Each structure stands twice: as structure tokens, then as C-alpha cells.
């Protein structure tokens, strides 16, 4: 396809005659695309920072016994306290097909009661103790920095082993002193430290590193909690929403313990996947708002381009009339006006896109140089699909901006135009 050099020279000459007016008009489109990209990039940075906390955590629901029964059921009175039991784990595995994995969990000093007084040599502190199982490090948002995590043999043999948070280590051990392999005393019971962990939770107020984790059955037998379980951690089978497994487990527990299905306050729960869905909905709302604001700005810029093209048509009425008198068709006139309009919007919008992307990349590079994250903000970016969508919006804006001026130019009467002063 041959490029009409003369036509483009004419477009540049026309625009160059009113540089300030053209520049100010183009800036409206530039600013619209710039703001769209910045808003979407900032929203993505916030989304990346929040989603980072969810990446390693599978869809999970926590279920616990919350309150006494409020309704009589199958001859059972109100006011009963339902305790979760260790044997419920096997019952749920067998009878609730939507559950992929289930863990029993007990604790000391988390759901009431005093933290466990812990000592090592002459150092001491009071820390919460949490029961855990092999493979649960991602659920607790832990990354082992020294030693290892709790394993299957620890669970099976109820070993008195522990992993401790970095802040626990700092309080109990001197700088440079080795924690792994040392014995600490928790409420008068000796445990060997097999690992030290850091939390992957980005919340600056997190106290996760101030905890001690031991095998859950070890905790139950060591701290007189054999007859009950504090809570269940439920992970659904792949492809099943956590809320489905959560509801099924609560229904099983209600049936087993003769609790009226309408007595909803007996079993409490927290569903992480529901929270993730809410966050996704929030960010979708942010994206929608960003598009609305930016498209409004772009349309305002396009109106400015349309106005300048109307002025151009008015100034070139005599020229357009002469072209038509010499045989130029309405299609040729419309094409000329539309090319000028689309050129202004496309060029200014593309510049806005490039400048904003470079700015986002610069911010991202600075953040990576400082650890990759600033609070809940991480790696602001705009994906390829968004960039293409922005360019499509540009073209549409350019076309819309040219419709009225092009129609007015095409309607010019050659005889009247030639008489125009």
C-alpha cells in the first residue's frame, strides 16, 4: 500500500499553522490516556501487594465451636456446648466428599488463656503456642529460615519438637547463638527447636513471628487438651469452592451432634476464599472506575479535537469548495478531515501511553531496588491487553471527534465556498 506523502505533508502543514492550539487540544487526549494507564497501573500494584498474601495459601475455611445451642432438636435441650473432637477428622474425611484435606488445630494462649511461659537458659518470654501438621507452612504463611518444618514422623510419634518465629528467637537466644537443636522449656515441658520461620504476611502489625508451633497431637497430650479440638482447617478438593466444603462440614457436625440446621450460631467459621472473592470484586470495581474516569477525560479531549477540526473546516471552507469544484468527492474530503483528527488523537494518546508506562516501570524499578514492596503496594504494571484496549479507545475517540467536522466539510457547497472571504 502506497503512502500518500503529499496528503501527509498537507496534514502537517495544516496542524503546524496553529501549533499552540493543536498542542493544547492534543494534551487533553494525552492526559486521558496517561491518567487511565496510571490509575490502572496503581490499581494493579495495590492488587499485586494484596494478592501476594494469598498466593501460597490454598482455598481454606476455618471452623470452630462458637456458642451454645439456641434451639431444641430431636429431644435435645437448648444450652448445649458442642465440642469438636479428634475423631471428627476421620468422620469428615469419610462422609464429606467435597473436603480434600482437613486438619485439627489446638492452641495455647490464642483463643483465651495465658500465653505459655517459655525459657531458654537465663532468657524467658510468654508466647502463644499453636498446633500444626506437616505441610501446613503455607497455610500459616511461614517460610523456614533455619532448620526444617514439622514433618509426618513428628506428627505420628508426637515428638516434642518446635519451630519458633524470628521474634521468639530474638528474645530467647543471644545474637549469633544457634537456635536449631537447642531445647526450650514451654510451661515446664522441654521441646527441641527444629526450625526458625519468618512470616510471609505483609501486614506490618502481624504478630505471627511471636508464636511457637508444635505438632498438634503433641500439644493436645502435653497441655491437657486430649478430649477436644479447638478448630478444623478445611481445604476443598480441586475445583470446589471453599464455601461448599465449609457448609458441608458444618452440616455434618450439626447432624452428628444433633444440632438444629437452623441453629446457625453454634459453629463459627471463616472462609478465606470468600475474602479473596471480595477483594477481587473490589479491584474489579477499581478498574471499572479507572476506565470510567479515563474514558471521560479522553472523550473530553476528543471533543476538543472535534472543536479544533470544526475551526479548521471553517478556515478552509474556500479551499474545500475549490477541491470539490475540481472534482474531489465527498469521500475524499471526509477522509482528509478524519485522517487529521485520528492523527492528533492517536499521536497524543500514544505519547501518553508511552510516558505513563515508563513512569510505572521507573516506580517498579525503584521498589525492586528497595525490596520490591512498599506496604500493600507491589510492582505497578499495565498488561498488554490493557494497552491494546487503550489504543482501541484512542482510535474510537479519533473517529468520533472527526464525524461532525467531516460531515460539515462534505456538505460544503462549492459555489458558496468560493465566494467565502
The number of domains in the chain is 3
Partners of 348 in beta bridges:
none
Cα→Cα distances 148→63, 154, 254, Å: 28, 12, 38
Taking a C-beta distance cutoff of 8 angstroms, is the pair 149, 128 a contact? no
- For 274-318, give the DSSP string: HHHHHHHHHHHHHHHHHHHHHHHHHHHHHHHHHHHHHHHHHHTHH
Taking a C-beta distance cutoff of 8 angstroms, is the pair 92, 103 a contact? no
Strand 211-215 relative to strand 107-108: parallel, antiparallel, unpaired?
unpaired
Q: Is the pLDDT of residue 2 over 70?
A: no
The region of weakest confidence among 8-12, 18-22, 308-312, 385-389 is 8-12
Per-residue confidence (pLDDT) for residue 212, from 0 to 100: 96
Q: Is the pLDDT of residue 323 over 80?
A: no
Segments forming the whole domain that contains residue 252: 67-106+228-265
Task: Please write the tens of the pLDDT for every residue from 242-276.
Answer: 999 999 999 999 999 999 999 988 999 999 888 88
User: pTM of the predicted model, to two decimals?
Assistant: 0.68
Mean pLDDT of 307-320: 68
Q: Is the pLDDT of residue 371 over 90?
A: no
Residues 325 and 400 in one domain: yes
Taking a C-beta distance cutoff of 8 angstroms, is the pair 63, 247 a contact? no
11 occurs within a structural domain? yes
Mean pLDDT of 173-185: 93
Per-residue confidence (pLDDT) for residue 352, from 0 to 100: 84
Mean pLDDT of 349-359: 84
Banded pLDDT at 169 (limits 50, 70, 90): very high
Banded pLDDT at 234 (limits 50, 70, 90): very high
Q: How far apart are CA 350 and CA 95, in angstroms?
A: 59
Mean confidence (pLDDT) of the chain: 82
Per-residue confidence (pLDDT) for residue 11, from 0 to 100: 60
Residues 310 and 397 in one domain: yes
Give CB contacts under 8 A, 24+ apart, made by 280-286: 283/43, 283/46, 283/47, 283/50, 286/43, 286/46, 286/47
140 occurs within a structural domain? yes
Q: How far apart are CA 210 and CA 288, in angstroms?
A: 40
Q: Is the pLDDT of residue 140 over 50?
A: yes
400 occurs within a structural domain? yes
Q: Quick check: helix, strand or coil at residue 256? A: helix
Mean pLDDT of 325-336: 71
13 occurs within a structural domain? yes
Residues 112 and 161 in one domain: yes
242 occurs within a structural domain? yes
Per-residue confidence (pLDDT) for residue 349, from 0 to 100: 79
Q: Is the pLDDT of residue 174 over 80?
A: yes
Percent of the chain scoring above 70 in pLDDT: 77
61 occurs within a structural domain? no
Residues 261 and 368 in one domain: no
Q: How far apart are CA 337 and CA 340, in angstroms?
A: 5
Q: Is the pLDDT of residue 54 over 80?
A: no
Taking a C-beta distance cutoff of 8 angstroms, is the pair 185, 119 a contact? yes
Per-residue confidence (pLDDT) for residue 288, from 0 to 100: 82
Residues 298 and 387 in one domain: yes
Banded pLDDT at 13 (limits 50, 70, 90): low
- Higher pLDDT among residues 247 and 368, named by residue: 247
Taking a C-beta distance cutoff of 8 angstroms, is the pair 66, 253 a contact? no
The region of weakest confidence among 126-140, 200-214, 334-348, 354-368 is 334-348
Per-residue confidence (pLDDT) for residue 248, from 0 to 100: 95
Q: Quick check: helix, strand or coil at residue 1? A: coil
271 occurs within a structural domain? no
Q: Is the pLDDT of residue 3 over 70?
A: no
Residues 312 and 410 in one domain: yes
Mean pLDDT of 39-63: 76
Dihedral in degrees, nearest 10, Cα atoms 283, 285, 286, 292: 150
Task: List the Cα angle 197/203/208 in 5-degree steps.
Answer: 35
Element (H, E) at 105: strand 99-105
Phi and psi at residue 163, to the nearest 5°:
-115, 140
Residues 79 and 121 in one domain: no
Residues 412 and 312 in one domain: yes
Tell me which residue has cell 495495590.
46
Which of 95, 102, 158, 177 has the alpha carbon at shortest distance from 135? 102
Residues 294 and 386 in one domain: yes
Residues 139 and 201 in one domain: yes
Residues 168 and 157 in one domain: yes
Q: How far apart are CA 238 and CA 250, in angstroms?
A: 19
Per-residue confidence (pLDDT) for residue 243, from 0 to 100: 93
Banded pLDDT at 1 (limits 50, 70, 90): very low
Q: Is the pLDDT of residue 375 over 60?
A: no
Residues 243 and 292 in one domain: no
Per-residue confidence (pLDDT) for residue 81, from 0 to 100: 92
58 occurs within a structural domain? no
Amino acid at each position: 500500500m502506497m503512502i500518500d506523502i503529499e496528503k501527509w505533508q498537507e496534514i502537517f502543514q495544516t496542524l503546524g499553522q496553529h501549533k499552540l492550539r493543536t498542542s493544547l487540544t492534543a494534551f487533553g487526549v494525552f492526559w486521558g490516556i496517561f491518567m487511565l494507564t496510571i490509575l490502572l497501573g496503581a490499581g494493579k500494584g495495590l492488587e499485586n501487594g494484596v494478592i501476594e498474601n494469598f498466593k501460597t495459601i490454598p482455598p481454606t475455611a476455618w471452623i470452630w465451636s462458637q456458642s451454645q445451642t439456641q434451639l431444641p432438636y430431636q429431644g435435645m435441650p437448648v444450652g448445649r456446648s458442642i465440642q469438636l473432637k479428634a475423631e471428627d477428622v476421620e468422620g469428615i474425611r469419610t462422609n464429606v466428599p467435597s473436603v480434600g484435606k482437613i486438619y485439627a488445630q489446638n492452641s495455647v494462649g490464642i483463643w483465651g488463656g495465658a500465653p505459655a511461659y517459655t525459657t531458654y537458659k537465663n532468657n524467658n518470654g510468654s508466647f502463644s503456642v499453636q498446633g500444626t501438621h506437616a505441610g501446613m507452612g503455607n497455610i500459616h504463611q511461614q517460610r523456614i529460615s533455619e532448620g526444617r518444618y514439622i514433618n509426618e514422623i513428628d506428627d505420628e510419634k508426637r515428638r516434642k519438637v518446635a519451630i519458633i518465629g524470628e521474634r521468639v528467637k530474638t528474645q530467647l537466644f543471644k545474637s549469633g547463638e544457634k537456635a536449631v537443636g537447642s531445647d526450650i522449656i514451654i510451661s515446664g515441658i522441654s521441646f527441641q527447636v527444629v526450625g526458625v520461620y519468618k512470616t510471609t504476611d505483609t501486614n506490618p502489625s502481624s504478630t505471627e513471628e511471636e508464636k511457637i508451633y508444635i505438632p498438634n497431637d503433641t500439644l493436645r497430650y502435653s497441655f491437657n487438651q486430649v478430649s477436644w479440638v479447638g478448630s478444623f482447617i478445611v481445604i476443598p478438593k480441586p475445583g470446589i469452592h471453599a464455601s461448599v466444603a465449609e457448609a458441608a462440614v458444618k452440616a455434618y457436625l450439626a447432624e452428628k451432634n444433633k444440632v438444629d440446621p437452623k441453629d446457625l450460631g453454634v459453629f463459627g467459621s471463616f472462609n478465606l476464599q470468600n475474602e479473596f472473592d471480595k477483594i477481587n470484586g473490589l479491584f474489579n470495581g477499581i478498574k471499572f472506575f479507572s476506565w470510567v474516569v479515563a474514558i471521560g477525560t479522553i472523550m473530553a479531549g476528543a471533543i476538543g479535537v472535534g472543536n479544533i477540526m470544526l475551526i479548521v473546516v471553517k478556515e478552509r471552507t474556500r479551499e474545500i469548495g475549490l477541491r470539490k469544484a475540481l472534482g474531489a468527492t465527498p469521500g475524499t474530503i471526509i477522509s482528509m478531515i478524519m485522517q487529521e483528527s485520528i492523527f492528533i488523537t492517536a499521536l497524543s494518546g500514544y505519547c501518553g501511553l508511552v510516558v505513563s508506562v515508563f513512569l510505572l516501570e521507573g516506580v517498579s524499578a525503584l521498589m525492586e531496588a528497595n525490596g520490591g514492596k512498599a506496604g500493600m503496594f507491589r510492582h505497578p504494571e499495565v498488561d498488554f491487553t490493557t494497552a491494546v484496549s487503550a489504543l482501541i479507545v484512542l482510535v474510537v475517540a479519533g473517529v468520533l471527534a472527526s464525524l461532525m467536522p467531516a460531515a460539515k466539510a462534505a456538505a460544503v457547497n462549492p459555489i458558496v465556498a468560493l465566494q467565502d472571504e
